[in-house]
Amino acid sequence: MIKVGYIGLGIMGKSMARNILKNGYPLVVHNRSVQPVKELVAEGAKRANSPKEVARQVDVVFTNLPDSPDVELVALGPQGILEGAHPDLIFVDNSTIKPETARLIAKRLGEKGVLCLDAPVSGGDVGAREGTLSIMVGGQQEAVEKVMPVFNCMGKSITHVGDAGAGQVAKAANQIMVAAQMTAMAELLVFARKTGADPKKVIEAIRGGAAQCWTLDVKPPRLFEGIRTPGFKAHMQLKDLGIVLDTAREYNLPLPATAVNTQLFAAMVAMGMGELDNSAVIGIIENLADIELLDG
């Protein structure tokens, strides 16, 4: 059976690693903070003290880290995966990072014979726990085929988008749509509330038509209960939108709506709401409209 390593055991990574373990794969884990490592070791995983040590022991090593510099450091830096690389190792990154960083890492690890996949995910903490994530994959077909049984432990929709970096391009496109949906939902809820209609009834009315989407299915019930905890944190949404705009600048590509949505999430973070769910961007719209969704 394939030996698997997982590095980065945050909200998403810990659940994804746990699902790999539950499906019977030998698992080696590493994380900067020790508590999630202890939890998974208690469930049967093995602890490693560095990314290098993980890579040496496994056939496939996954990472799930906050941003491009973190992945580059773990993959290519001191005591990193590159130092522990061996023939037939496959590197899979579940983080959301810049496409160009994914391509750089694939090139450097490829020089040591490592096959690389950039495989960011969508579906939030619920999808990570339930193993129902959407996984967008860039890299060699050979590596996709070898890792597919492990992907199936984590997700229900696995799409090989193209060569190295293509998975990250797909995730960036996903985040353009997610931000647009969150801000549009915030605007329509505040619009309904300010103009005297019942926001719950408005959602009920429009979900059966062209406006139907995952965001309207999942987020309004939580907002109506006053729940604005993550989910997917707003500061991570802002980070992802930064990747989108940085990449757009590299290609001289105008994204005016995304630029405005990025400003709204930047305002959230500036106002101390970065740890809230990305749907809590409604707080910015409430502030501008001088009304609260749950008033009265």
> Could you give the residue numbers annotated as active site?
171
How many distinct helices (H) and strands (E) make up the chain? 14, 9
Phi, psi of 114 (to 5 degrees): -90, 130
Pairing state between β 155-162 and 90-93: unpaired
Q: Is 116 in contact with 110 (CB distance < 8 Å)?
A: yes
Which amino acid, 10? Answer: G
Residue 274 to residues 125, 197, 228, 270, 281: CA-CA distances in angstroms?
17, 29, 11, 8, 10
Pairing state between β 115-118 and 60-63: unpaired
DSSP H or E segment with residue 72: helix 68-76
